[in-house]
Amino acid sequence: MDTQANTPILHSAPTRYSPPYLLLLDLYVLISNLPFLPGIIFPLRTSNPCAELYPYSWGNIISLVLGLLLIIFGLLSLLLIPAWLFLPGGVWLCWFAAVAGATWIFSRTLNGGDGDVMVSSGQYVRGKAEQEDEKWFYVNGIMTGEYWLKTNVDEAERRFGRKIWGVHNRRFVSLCLLLSG
């Protein structure tokens, strides 16, 4: 018994249970949480304008449309793989150039043209903006455009009361990159 916290001392799960039992526990947790999956994918009832799926923001709508177009062009790029067997070389090359060009244009529009680092607004900083020995960074994920990076950085600042530096991890997205992420 841990006398300071009045709690029993527990060993980590891997030393107490066998791997098959842990797998069954993980499957149980996964299955028991399946009803909550739609809330992760479709949180359309949010009233937070910083949320990525907030339905009344032009920035979100544009980012979602660009993301859907990138997914469509990613699917078209998958069709390129078997198409080289059946199409003449020039036709395949033109198709490849069109898909790659459209992907680059939509990715460039989604990513914006400003720098690679975005600093939060400072509106919600509480106390000292930063400690001498700390800096808070946020690195965006796949298909996070410039608008979503800015809203995510501002939301993190609002929640934690610290100035946040957002690092824009620019990607020219393909469907394979999305599946790997």
pLDDT tens, position by position, 103-154: 888 888 887 766 677 777 777 777 665 566 778 888 877 677 788 888 888 8
Q: Higher confidence at residue 50 or residue 25?
A: 25
Provide the pLDDT for residue 75: 79
Per-domain boundaries in the chain: 13-180
Q: Does this model's pTM top 0.85?
A: no
pLDDT tens, position by position, 79-113: 777 777 777 878 878 877 887 788 888 888 887 76
C-beta atoms surrounding 9 within 10 Å:
7
d(CA 167, CA 181): 17
DSSP annotation of 58 reads H
Confidence at 31, pLDDT banded by 50, 70, 90: very high
